[in-house]
Amino acid sequence: MRGARAFLDFCTKFRKIFSPASGMEEALKPPSLVANMKVLDKELFNKEIELPYIGVADNKVSDILPKMKKYLLRVDHYKPISRLDDNIVLFLNPLKVGRWEDLEETDRNYLVGKNIDAHLFKFHKEVLKYNNYSAEDVLRAVLPKDKEGMASFTKIGHIVHVNLREHLLPYKNVIGEVLFDKVSGCRTVVNKVNMIDNTYRNFQMEILCGEEDFVAKLKENKCTFEFDFSKVYWNSRLCTEHERIVDLVGTEDVLFDVFAGVGPFSVPVAKKKCPVFANDLNPESYKWLKHNAKINKIGDNLSMSNKDGKDFILNEVKDKLLGFVKERKRVFVVMNLPALAVEFLGAFNGLYSDVQRVEMDTPPTIYVYCFAKGEEPEEIARRLVVENFGWDVSAKILEVFRVRTVSSMKEMMRVAIRLDEDILWGSKKRKSSDGEDILQNKKNRGNGEEEGKEM
């Protein structure tokens, strides 16, 4: 019995190895001659292949389609159910099917029951063209195989944004044209040409393809956002994180958004009719924040300011937070500036040291974002929070959450901190474990969200 089973296994492997479908891995890929192309020539992507198909009568398509869907050819701009010589045919994926026997036995039997047998399994010569390949397929075929390829891109409204590494710059025009052609709704492709290192956290960019129009419009969390992408910061990869925080804030809660940007947290929360206090240092972000509040018909729920983050905490937050706490409202403070936000935590030390201490049944919660570079991002994030408060607030840390991977050994983290009486009525300067003073008054900087280099 064992010998018979082994023989059957061998026959199965033999049939797969020498099946016409084997060795076809390259069939649906662009031709090799497009490799290292620096000027896009779409004609060079033409490639003749033989596609398997099954002929089927008109009244049989709906009957057999459920069984045949898994075998159908799936390439861009090609209809797998088509007419050939006035007959309805199903074009099949040559990577899966090279002969009639490559169909599963139960499926073959089902087709035979519909009067469709091996005599209706044939081949047709077809030319695959540039528009039949995905952007991923084209770029993988063109870019050097011995170096890291283009990792990803982001789409912000009609703008496709890439961050090309140096070895990809000779191919930037091809990359731009391919993305322009193949990303739905794209009208502009841009490449970042410098790191974000200025106060307002925008960056210089070059247009790789398309029109010079940087005013993007998009939908997120049931809100419409408009902004000039060349002057403010927006990262579409944070859509899920924006949604997480928005969902946490209930209709009776209060939000302070210290680095609000154009409003990805503030606008949808304010739309719930919650009191929201949003701030951003960048005048352009502030302008578009007000614009987004208007087009989303926020009304009086959103109070906006254009200040340094520390100034906002020491004034706007201080003036209003305690009143909401006394009303037993849940209060959330969002600090989404990962490169710098932890440096502003010290502003909360002793925020109310000049007023009478009160007991808080529901202490506010801070959600502060940071970048953790190293092998233990959770511990690194905790340490950053403790160091910037200037004393051991470990017991106040409620959660450390990994938001996303920015690059190798670099994670964007979110730390939730209970903002209790010990912090708000404590001293403004604490001692570290070795006795040295830790200054809380960091350099006054900060606005919007921060990004890391990703491609």
Looking at residue 297, what is its pLDDT?
95
Looking at residue 411, what is its pLDDT?
96
Residue 443 has pLDDT above 60, yes or no: no
**Res. 438 pLDDT band, cuts 50 70 90:** very low
Would you say 153 and 162 are in contact if contact means Cβ atoms under 8 Å apart?
yes
Per-domain boundaries in the chain: 19-38+46-132, 143-213, 231-438
Would you say 142 and 35 are in contact if contact means Cβ atoms under 8 Å apart?
yes
CB neighbour burial string for 199-209, b if at least 16 within 10 angstroms, e if fewer: ebbbbebeebb
pLDDT (tens digit, 9 = 90+) per residue, 249-281?
A: 999 999 999 999 999 999 999 999 999 999 999
Looking at residue 440, what is its pLDDT?
37
- Enumerate the known binding-site residues: 242, 280-281, 308-309, 336
Max Cα distance, the chain (Å):
91
Would you say 241 and 265 are in contact if contact means Cβ atoms under 8 Å apart?
no
- Enumerate the known binding-site residues for S-adenosyl-L-methionine: 242, 280-281, 308-309, 336
pLDDT (tens digit, 9 = 90+) per residue, 150-188?
A: 778 999 999 999 989 899 999 999 999 999 999 999 999
pLDDT (tens digit, 9 = 90+) per residue, 412-427?
A: 999 999 999 999 998 5
Looking at residue 194, what is its pLDDT?
64
The tokens describing 14, both together, are: 């033999």
The CATH architecture assigned to 231-438 reads 3-Layer(aba) Sandwich (3.40)
Asked if 143-213 and 231-438 have one fold, the answer is no
Would you say 284 and 230 are in contact if contact means Cβ atoms under 8 Å apart?
no
| 201 vs 331, residue with greater confidence | 331
**What is the rounded average pLDDT for all residues in the chain?**
88
Those residues whose C-beta lies under 8 Å from the C-beta of residue 1, and which sit 6 or more positions away, are: none
Q: What is the mean pLDDT of residues 120-142?
A: 96
pLDDT (tens digit, 9 = 90+) per residue, 39-61?
A: 999 999 999 999 999 999 766 89
Residue 336 has pLDDT above 90, yes or no: yes
The CA distance from 146 to 149, in Å, is 9
The CATH architecture assigned to 143-213 reads 2-Layer Sandwich (3.30)
Ramachandran angles phi, psi of 184, nearest 5°: -60, 130
**Res. 431 pLDDT band, cuts 50 70 90:** very low
Looking at residue 27, what is its pLDDT?
87
Residue 9 has pLDDT above 60, yes or no: no
Looking at residue 147, what is its pLDDT?
83
Over pLDDT 70: what percentage of the chain?
85
Q: Is 34 helix (H, G, I), strand (E, B) or coil?
A: helix
